[in-house]
Structures are given as structure tokens and as C-alpha cells.
């Protein structure tokens, strides 16, 4: 499971007195682009930004009625299209780069195009247009290895080999983001693990489909501990990271695990999620 971030490295840690704070008008971004704003986590990030009064833009492939109700300006296009990214970035001083292709299998090319080429395009356009801040949604999967992780922190090196295209492509994208950190563009990456909550279109539906087909395979005996992330926790972490970066605090160029800090046995986690959907396995 992902370990907790040490207190001195946490985005929640107090800022030392000697760290200079930016002028008041720069404490939070004025206009933020959320890539993948129509998705599960992206929509929650948009909701939280709007709730605090931040002007918010979404870049996604298709329109979202939920974002329309929130009054969010939507730009539709591909992450790898510089023109579409430029339209979305117009007037923005910060980006939450949340869009990605996720999955457990499949050919590598689509993952590479969206997760790597798309990230490279977003970074390039941010530099060209003078965007100050970028928070990247990575995944704890970039650090996983056979046998799992226990009490791990962000100093853990990445594995030498990946078993699927998704974690591999996300690891490369994360490297691009962290390497881009500098005086002109401040960046960091967040690594949430198993995001769940109301409206989950991914994890819970996959579990319920497996049960209804008559078979849900439990790795081992289900006693292994797993730490997960509620969608609101994950979104809140993105806003904290965004504000800390924008204020010039020394958190950039690094990746951070994000989870509830409440590891539970896998069997228990799966049972609770299925019960919430009215399904018994």
C-alpha cells in the first residue's frame, strides 16, 4: 500500500518562517484549466475549484452536462492537439493535468499517445504561454512491484519493469512533469490509489460486473492491506498542491502519494464497496 507522506514532506506541513510568501494577489490561481474535467476525478476537482470561487476551464473530448450546470467553460479537443490546448489555456495561470487513459490491459500505443504525448503537449504549451503552475495527476501504480508496498515513501525507486502499458506510460509522463519543474513553470505530481466515491464509473462498476457474471477472483486470501482514496480527498489534495505551488512554496519537482491513511484488508474493502452498490459477493 502507499505509505503516508512524512510530515516534513507533506503538502499540509507548516511553511517555515524563512520561506518567502508571494503577494496576496498571487496566493491562489485566478483561472485554472483542468484537463479531463468531465471525468470522475476531474469533475470533482472542477466542483471544488468553482465552490471556492476560482474561474475554471475544462479540456475534454466531449461535453459534460454536469460541468455546464457548474458554469464551467468547456473546450473540446485532443490533448495532443496544440491548438486545442492553446484554446483551453487562454487566460489561465495554472493547470491541473488530470486527463489520462486508464486500464488494466490493451495495446500500448493508445496509452502512450494520451498519457505521454498528451502530457508533453500540455507542458510545451504551458511554457510557451507563460503558465505558472501545473499539478499532474499520476498514480501510485508507477511505484508498484510484485509483493506490494508497505510503509513506502516517495524516496522509493520505481521498478525496473512494468507489467502493463498504463503504469509504464504514467511513469514516463510523471518524469516529464517533474523534469519540467523550474522558475518559469512550477510542477509536482500526485499519486492517488484506487479512487472511489459517488458516481464512480470505473472501479465499482468493474467489481459489480465481475460478481454478476458469477466470478470475482480475490488475490490471495484477501487479508492483504490496501489503502484507497475517496474522490473528494483526491480532489482536495490537488487544490492544496495547486495553492502551495502557486505561492512559491518548496514542494515542486516531486511526487506525493495520496490516500486515506486507513489501510484495510482487501476483502473488507471490496465487501464494503459492493454493499454500497447493493451487491453481495
pLDDT digits (tens, 9 = 90+) for 189-245: 999 999 999 988 888 888 888 888 887 888 888 898 999 999 999 999 999 999 999
Identify the weakest region by mean pLDDT among 100-109, 173-182, 252-261.
Answer: 100-109
* φ, ψ dihedrals at 6, nearest 5°: -55, 145
- pLDDT tens per residue, range 48-93: 999 999 999 999 999 999 999 999 999 999 999 999 999 999 999 9
pLDDT category, 111, cuts 50, 70, 90?
Answer: very high
d(CA 72, CA 50): 8
d(CA 149, CA 111): 24
Neighbours of 66 (CB within 10 A): 13
Provide the pLDDT for residue 137: 98
SS3 content of the chain, % helix, strand, coil (to 5): 40, 15, 45
Contact 241, 135 (CB under 8 A): yes
Neighbours of 77 (CB within 10 A): 16
Provide the pLDDT for residue 26: 59
* CATH for the 7-201+226-262 domain, from 3.30.9.10, 3.40.50.720, 3.40.50.2300, 3.30.750.80: 3.40.50.720
Provide the pLDDT for residue 106: 87
- pLDDT at residue 147 is higher than 90: no
Which residue, among 158, 117, 160, has the nearest Cα to 141 in the 3D structure?
A: 158
Strand, helix or coil for residue 257: strand
What residues are annotated to the active site?
166
Mean pLDDT of the chain: 88
pLDDT category, 149, cuts 50, 70, 90?
Answer: confident
DSSP code at position 170: H
- pLDDT at residue 19 is higher than 90: no
Specify which of 15-19, 36-40, 155-159 reaches the highest per-range mean pLDDT: 36-40
Q: What percent of the chain has pLDDT over 70?
A: 91
What would the grid cell of residue 33 be?
484549466
Contact 93, 31 (CB under 8 A): yes
* The residue count for the chain: 281
d(CA 245, CA 135): 8
Amino acid at each position: 500500500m502507499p505509505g503516508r507522506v512524512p510530515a516534513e514532506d507533506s503538502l499540509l506541513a507548516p511553511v517555515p518562517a524563512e520561506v518567502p510568501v508571494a503577494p496576496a494577489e498571487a496566493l491562489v490561481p485566478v483561472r485554472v484549466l483542468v484537463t479531463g474535467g468531465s471525468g470522475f476525478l476531474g469533475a470533482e476537482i472542477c466542483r471544488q475549484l468553482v465552490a471556492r470561487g476560482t474561474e475554471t476551464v475544462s479540456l475534454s473530448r466531449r461535453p459534460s452536462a454536469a460541468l455546464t450546470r457548474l458554469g464551467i467553460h468547456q473546450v473540446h479537443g485532443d490533448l495532443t492537439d496544440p491548438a486545442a490546448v492553446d484554446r483551453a489555456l487562454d487566460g489561465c495561470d495554472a493547470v491541473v493535468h488530470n486527463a489520462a487513459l486508464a486500464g488494466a490491459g490493451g495495446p500500448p500505443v493508445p496509452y502512450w499517445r494520451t498519457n505521454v504525448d498528451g502530457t508533453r503537449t500540455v507542458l510545451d504549451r504551458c511554457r510557451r504561454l507563460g503558465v505558472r503552475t501545473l499539478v499532474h495527476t499520476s498514480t501510485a501504480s508507477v511505484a508498484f512491484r510484485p509483493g506490494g508496498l508497505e510503509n513506502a515513501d516517495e524516496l522509493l525507486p520505481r521498478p525496473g519493469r512494468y507489467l502493463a502499458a498504463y503504469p509504464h506510460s504514467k511513469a514516463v509522463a510523471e518524469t516529464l512533469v517533474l523534469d519540467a519543474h523550474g522558475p518559469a513553470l512550477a510542477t509536482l505530481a500526485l499519486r492517488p490509489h484506487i479512487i472511489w466515491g459517488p458516481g464512480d464509473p470505473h472501479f465499482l462498476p468493474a467489481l459489480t460486473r465481475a460478481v454478476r457474471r458469477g466470478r470475482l477472483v480475490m488475490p490471495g486470501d484477501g487479508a492483504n492491506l490496501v489503502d484507497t482514496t475517496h474522490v473528494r480527498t483526491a480532489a482536495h489534495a490537488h487544490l492544496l498542491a495547486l495553492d502551495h505551488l502557486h505561492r512559491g512554496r518548496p514542494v515542486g519537482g516531486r511526487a506525493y502519494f495520496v490516500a486515506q491513511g486507513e489501510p484495510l484488508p482487501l476483502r473488507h474493502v471490496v465487501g464494503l464497496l459492493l454493499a454500497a452498490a447493493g451487491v453481495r459477493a
